Structure 1
Amino acid sequence: MSGLAAVFAADGPIARHVGGFEPRAEQLAMAEAVADACADQAVLLAEAGTGTGKTFAYLVPALLAGGKIIVSTGTKTLQDQLFEKDLPLVRDALELPLRASLLKGRSNYLCLYRYEQTMDEGRLDSPVQAEQLHGLRHWASLTRSGDLGEAPVPVLEEGLRSRITSTADNCLGQECPAYADCFLMEARRRAQEADVVVVNHHLLLADWALKESGFGEVLPGADVYILDEAHQLPEVAGQFFGLSLSSRQLLELGRDTLTEYQREAGDVPALPAVVERYTRAVLEVRLALGSGARRSAWSDVAERPAIAAAVDGLQRWLGELVALLEPMAVRGRGLEAVYRRAEALRAALQGFLQPEGQEAVQWFESFSQSFILRSTPVDVAEPFRRQMARHPAAWILTSATLSVGEDFSHFSHRVGLEEPRTLRVESPFDYERNTLLYVPQGLPAPTSEAYLAAFLRETEAILGLSQGRAFILFTSHRALREAAIYFQGRLPYPLLVQGEAGQAELLARFREAGNAVLLGTASFWEGVDVRGEALSCVIIDRLPFAAPNDPVLQAKIAALEAAEVNPFMEYQLPLAVISLRQGVGRLIRDGADRGVLVIADNRILTKFYGSVFRRSLPPMPLTREREQVAQFYAGLSVVDAIGGEC
């Protein structure tokens, strides 16, 4: 028996530390592939189906290999779970004297300097912010980590959070009076000294972007990099290898400029007037972009007179602010910091309006009271290649959804990998016996105006069979809103709607109710784990193709067409397949789970590309008869329920 086989054996150290642990051939196969990659400093793409136990499958061999390890996860929630639960368990089971460190982005740590400033000034936007700030007082005097995730106020208003945390723009660095006690600097110091550092993709990519710009780094080098939930990486990379400028950043600059001016100067009466006019210019850009939320290419609106005038005004008054701050910067650390920020934001605005260098798409998002200007590279493969070349190491990229029809080429091309090792292990769960795939008959085409109403009627009937206990996953917020209106008062089950509360609270209510119906969009398609009978049905309204009017998608399509590549087959379809697989993965989270997957979009059966989707799904028996869904929930076996046709 090999060393890894002994670790994962029924009487091995993992089994002794994990109640109910059972050896899984799939888990051992992945662990052995990870061990080989660590030994050879190779790149491994490892797709592990739900229930494989991939966290242990990569932690055990990586820890046994020794050396420095960086593990990056898709979300802060998974990051906390890995650091607080999984990593200590494996470390204790293997009896390894490892030092582990948890490192998050700076917005997660209390900034003592800005916190004390806010406490002294007492100027807040609402009574709620004042109450939350007061609730932090005792904790702030005792905390050793400064991690706001551990604070007694679990959800801070954004306006307050920005006043008690730092950004790369407003951090005073070694000039800060509280630098010696800085929680962020202490967390980074521990990361440099640790054997294992647990981060998230946003921090990892922010660090890479910093290295790309030549301005240093946050994370140490490592011998092994493990990127979990790796399917998220291309999208996150687009955010960090591009440019982003938000109205929040611009408005905070004005507010902080006044604060530092009053503290360190106060004798240049022109400055407050310029800040006021600059702040108005930011708000005028938001007003010019129109009411409601929108996501569109900048070229669609840039020539409109109102928007062009508002942007010209913002450029002018931001320039005026920079000119006034420049001679004042020598008066104190605070004024010097806001001057540097103002100059950086002016450069960012100029870079957005007159881009140079890499092929990128300029676009914007507007919300009810804010906006973000973005420049996103069309292709992030080259920055990925450069970063991996800079750090010769073992690279383990893993997820439940990396392949399309058992082919990894779509993902590997997006992240610039030419010939990685690949491994695909199926889920150990018995989908053929414990699940049913239902594609309803008779619904209109998903592009029809009559589709949503017919989908909601069909869904209501299915919920009667499942007795609630369902996720309904939508591909658009508009459809979700209409569904929420339709189901209100019609269902004898608790109705939970994304947006009415935070994700964690909605999931807690869902589990507690036992028969609830939850309506969700993108954030509920992945990273959500509900085990047991409380979730016995997942209903998906449409195949999750990206919105055709998305500006980044349009730019990518144009680039592929210019290269004489079919954008639908090589990009849009694989992207949709991976998204669908994530949604499907919500249904079965445990070996004892049973449930029905409903895909109401009949294109999965009628279109030529439907077979690509079907080949990428677990081996679920298919039915088109609602009566067979009823029989499934009545407790008949799948074979009985569909008349023996699997």
Structure 2
Amino acid sequence: MPVDADAPDKPAKPGKSGNAGKPGKSAKGRSGEGDGPALPSTTDLLSVAVRALGGSERPGQVRMAQSVQRAIDAGDHVAVQAGTGTGKSLAYLVPAIRQAMISGSAVVVSTATIALQRQLVDRDLPRLADALAPELPHKPDFAILKGRRNYLCRYKVTAGWPEDEPDQLFDPREVSATGRMVQRIQEWAETTETGDRDELVPGVNEQAWRQFSVSARECLGAQRCPSGAECFAELARERAGKVDVVVTNHALLAIDAMEEFEVLPEHDVVVVDEAHELVDRVTSVVTDELSGAAVGLAVRRVAKLIEQATADRLQEAGETLEALLGAAPAGRVDDLPPVLGTTLALVRDSAAACITALGPRGGDRSGGAARDAGKDAEEMGLRKAAFNALDEVHDTAQRMLDAYGHEREIDRAEVVWLLEATDRRPATLRVAPLSVAGMLRDNLFGDRTVVLTSATLALGGSFDGLARQWGLGEPAAADGGAETKGAGWTGLDVGSPFDHPRSGILYVAKHLPQPGRDGLPQPYLDEIAELIEAAGGRTLGLFSSMRAAKAATEALRDRLDFPLLCQGDDSTMLLVKQFAEDEPTCLFGTLSLWQGVDVPGPSLRLVIIDRIPFPRPDDPLTSARQRHVAAKGGNGFMSVAATHAALLLAQGAGRLLRSQTDKGVVAILDPRLETARYGSFLRASLPPFWSTNDPALVRGALKRLATG
């Protein structure tokens, strides 16, 4: 039952700090045995669920469920590392559902990927609801909560709203293809019962969809919109407010915590699955950008609503910005050049003049005279779209100006950088926070229990790194590396049901040269070929860049007797399917494959990682964060770059064992994992495979697996 999240008609959150105005933990009561209806314990409910689903008890799953229940009872937070095969979804869903029954409010489950959302809603939750129904006051119900942009806007289908982009910015063939998509959306709009974009198969591009959807800020509101009574998003959100478990994503979770309007139903427990991606997803939500094209869009939206001279001022400011950015070098902008400062101020002030010229936000500008309701709503829609575009331009320009003027690096809060122009994007300035820890601490963790879980949280054997990034603070105590306690939070590693030393080998090619910047050295290509031949194909190659993945594919495709696929040859989903279904096939790719491949069985016996996946040294945000940590007396490299690499390495290595019968090798070709001082930190983040540096031994093991 897909539903929407954005609800601009709800009252704003006062203060926005600590989620003021939302019910705190004491408002709903906790889930102790004396509160609410008498229910079986979490352990008993988990046993019922496991038996009903035909599974067997897993110690790690039980420990995790009990830890989640303790956190709910105490009103604290818990971070749980649970390896593949633990059954972590069940371990957090059972106490979450129990809490929803007791408190009467929904529990929110947030994921990073659509795949996990679909798994929860299509498989895990329906089966679990059936299993637990006899033990609970009612059968648990659930919904996916989506952003308003994912739903067809009934009013926009018929209203004359301006398009976001002029056709001349696009290749004529692309315009034609988009036109066909627009026609298909219009036909679908006449029959759809949900308005959910996911119903459109095949899908449509963003350019086409934007013409039929609105953001929460653009929405007129159900009370003012002529189509408000039948709004797909409002109807979906109404259904969402009545369920026990709401499944959403990290971006929407961040929007709910940080925006001025309510998005999610009232809740006092949040489960953040795939929590290793939380910081990056939140950072994306709070990153703003500014370009000449963005200013031009604001001008087009406001031009017919105000005096031409006022709109022309903004147009000229946007053209000045576009010319300036087009001539400037890409990269981090540490010090504000006077000409850029003057231009940003000009853009800000011109946008402010347009906002003033538009007059009051909302309301009737006709002096109370009777008007046609449709015309009134159409004008309101055009005005709201104009306000939204102008606010974005004004506030982003001001935010960029505010990023400067600090005497010390330690006082800097944000970083600004310039992206060079591409075929699909003009030169663009971006601004992002150096840390989201304070935002998360105040707005997400402030007044509710948060459960954070993933197969990869204890980096370097410790929860400290991610806990600091989340804003949870330093740990107060530790227990043998398995449990970490901090002020108001606990970190727990429940392990994995896999016998890693018996099932897998970690091979570090210590004899190879250090990787350089000029692509894959020939010894690396030779090593990859020898390993794949020994494995009989069956290889997932994870590369630090798409350039390296393509270079390896081109160099080895004719050299090997096995089918070799490369990310980009087709959709990633189809490539993974082909890889899984044909045992000898190999698949090479980059970032999405490091975390998005689940291929149990004999089709995957070898995972090759070409180099330690440090962020690029010239990455503006990462490098700025490193410098900021160093200015505060910390180790910027270890806190940022090494933590990033450890997370990806652990995720990549985790592709090997996906079922109890899986066996194989993780081969890391970068010798720095053995020779560099930071190598021990990175190795401590990896699963506890049996390790070796002997290439002959590894090739022999792979050959035995291939023939056995």
Show the 5 A alignment for 1:314-325: 322=355, 325=358
- The answer for the alignment partner of 2:612 in structure 1 is 543
Instruction: State whether structure 2 residue 333 is matched by structure 1 residue 298.
Output: yes
Which residue number corresponds to residue 100 of structure 1?
142
Counterpart for residue 83 of structure 2: 49
Q: Is the 8 A contact 1:285 1:314 kept in 2?
A: no
Describe the shift of the 1:277–1:444 C-alpha distance in structure 2 as closer, same or farther (beyond 3 A).
Answer: same
Identify the residue that residue 23 of structure 1 maps to in structure 2: 57
Q: Which residue of 1 aligns with 2:449?
A: 394
Change (3 A) 1:381 1:316: closer
Who is 1:444 aligned against?
A: 513
The one-letter code of the counterpart of 1:621 is: W
Superposed CA offset, 1:351-374 (max 9, x none): 223437971112233451325433
Kindly report which structure 2 residues correspond to 1:45-124, keeping only aligned pairs within 5 A, or say none. Answer: 45-65=79-99, 66=101, 67=103, 68-95=106-133, 96-117=138-159
Select 2:269's aligned residue among 224, 228, 241.
224
Structure 2 residue aligned with 1:376: 432
Counterpart Cα distance in 1 of 2:283 and 2:604: 34
Amino acid at match of 1:398: T
Matched residue type, 2:69: A
SS at the partner of 1:45? Answer: strand
Q: Distance in 2 between matches of 1:499 and 1:397?
A: 33
Structure with bigger helix share is 1
Quick check: 1:285–1:311 contact (8 Å CA) kept in 2?
Answer: no
Post-superposition offset of 1:597: 0.6
Structure 1 counterpart SS, 2:608: strand
- The 2-side partners of 1:60 and 1:519 are apart by 38
Residue 166 to residue 338, structure 1, CA distance change in 2 (3 Å)? closer
Is residue 194 of structure 1 aligned with residue 243 of structure 2? yes
Identity of aligned residues (%): 32
- Kindly state the Cα deviation for residue 123 of structure 1 after the two structures are TM-superposed: 9.1
Residue in 2 that maps onto 1:471:
540
**Aligned residue in 1 for 2:459:** 404
Q: For residue 380 of structure 2, what is the amino acid of its counterpart?
A: R
- Paired AA for residue 233 in structure 2: L
2:131 corresponds to which letter in structure 1? A
Pairing of 1:406-425 with structure 2 (within 5 A): 406-418=461-473, 419=486, 420-425=489-494
Looking at structure 2, the residues matched to 226 and 432 of structure 1 have their Cα atoms a distance apart, in angstroms, of 31
Q: Does 1:288 align with 2:322?
A: no
Give runs of aligned pairs for residues 426-505 of structure 1, distance below 5 A.
426-447=495-516, 449=518, 452-505=521-574
More deviation in 345-354 or 596-605?
A: 345-354
Q: How does 1:486-635 map to 2 (within 5 A)?
A: 486-635=555-704
Q: After TM superposition, give the deviation of residue 237 of structure 1 in Å.
A: 2.3
Letter in 2 for 1:223: D
Cα gap change, 1:272 to 1:608, in 2 (>3 Å)? closer
For residues 504-550 of structure 1, the C-alpha deviation after alignment (integer angstroms, 9 at most, x for no partner) is 23322322343332222222211332222222221111112222222
Check conservation: 2:301, 2:386, Cα contact below 8 A.
Answer: no
State the 1:428 CA deviation.
0.7
Gaps of 5+ in 2: 1-39, 367-378, 405-410, 474-485
Cα shift at 1:381: 1.8
CA–CA distance in structure 1, aligned partners of residues 536 and 591 of structure 2: 24
Q: Is the 8 A contact 2:299 2:311 kept in 1?
A: no
Please list the CA deviations of residues 4-45 of structure 1 after superposition, one character each: whole Å capped at 9, or x if unmatched: 555455xx4433334xx2321111111111122222222111
Q: Which amino acid aligns with 1:99?
A: D
- Residues 83-132 of structure 1: CA distance to partner in whole angstroms, max 9, x if unpaired? 22211111111114223121112222222233334899999662211222
Paired amino acid for 1:230? A
Number of positions where the alignment pairs a residue of Structure 1 with one of Structure 2 = 616
Aligned to 1:361: 415
- Give the counterpart of 1:130 among 165, 168, 179: 179
Gaps of 5+ in 1: 642-646
- Shift of residue 230 of structure 1? 0.9
Match of 2:279 among 234, 238, 247: 234
Any conservation in 1 of the 2:46–2:94 contact (CA below 8 Å)? no
Residue of structure 2 in register with 1:644 after alignment = none
Q: Report the Cα distance in structure 1 between the residues aligned to 2:161 and 2:355, rounded to whole angstroms.
A: 28
- The letter for the 1-side match of 2:219 is C
Question: CA 1:177–1:487 in 2, change beyond 3 Å: closer, same or farther?
Answer: farther
> What is the rounded CA distance, in whole Å, between the counterparts of 1:4 and 1:381 in structure 2?
31
TM-score after normalising by structure 2: 0.78
CA RMSD of aligned residues (A): 3.4
- Is contact 2:157-2:186 (8 Å) kept? no
- Check whether the contact 2:150–2:213 (CA below 8 A) recurs between aligned residues: yes
Q: Is the 8 A contact 1:14 1:90 kept in 2?
A: no
Q: Distance in 1 between matches of 2:571 and 2:451?
A: 32
C-alpha distance in 2, partners of 1:378/1:123? 34
Counterpart AA for 2:236: A
Cα shift readout 1:351-410 (whole Å, capped 9, x = no counterpart): 22343797111223345132543322222222222124542x322111111112331111
**Per-residue displacement from partner, 1:489-512 (whole Å, max 9, x unpaired)?**
444333333334433233223223
